[in-house]
Amino acid sequence: MPLVYYIPEYEKDVSQMSLTAERLLRLLGLSGKLTGFRYTVYMVEQVRDQPENMLLITKRLYAQTAAHFNTTPSCVERNLRTLIQRCWNYPDHSF
């Protein structure tokens, strides 16, 4: 599934770089300092590689992510909610 996103004028020179999950999150203004950042990168990559992971997200994907990072599914969910909240509160998404 291709991802479509806006490329600002000042990034036209580096637009040949592929869009990774990490780059997408950083374009949304998210910081890699948040614990949920790595969880989200992992989950987006899992869904990209195996789209069936979109089914039963809370039962399958959260559990898989928790096992990968040696944590609990509820911790993954909480950190993901924090990351989403930070994204919505980011002051300028107009790039």
DSSP characters over the chain: --------GGGGGGTTS---HHHHHHHTT--TTSHHHHHHHHHHHHHHH-GGGGTTIIIIIHHHHHHHHTS-HHHHHHHHHHHHHHHHH-S----
72: region left, alpha or beta (phi > 0 left; psi from -120 to 50 alpha) = beta
pLDDT band at residue 76 using 50, 70 and 90 as cut-offs: very high
pTM of the model: 0.73
In a domain, 94, yes or no: no
Q: Which two tokens stand for residue 33?
A: 């300092």
Task: Kindly state the average pLDDT of the residues 7-29.
Answer: 68
Residue 74's pLDDT is what?
A: 95
> Comparing 67 with 57, which gets the higher pLDDT?
67
Task: Kindly state the average pLDDT of the residues 26-46.
Answer: 87
In a domain, 14, yes or no: yes
pLDDT at 5 over 70: no
Read off the CATH number of the domain in which 40 is found: 1.10.10.10
In a domain, 55, yes or no: yes
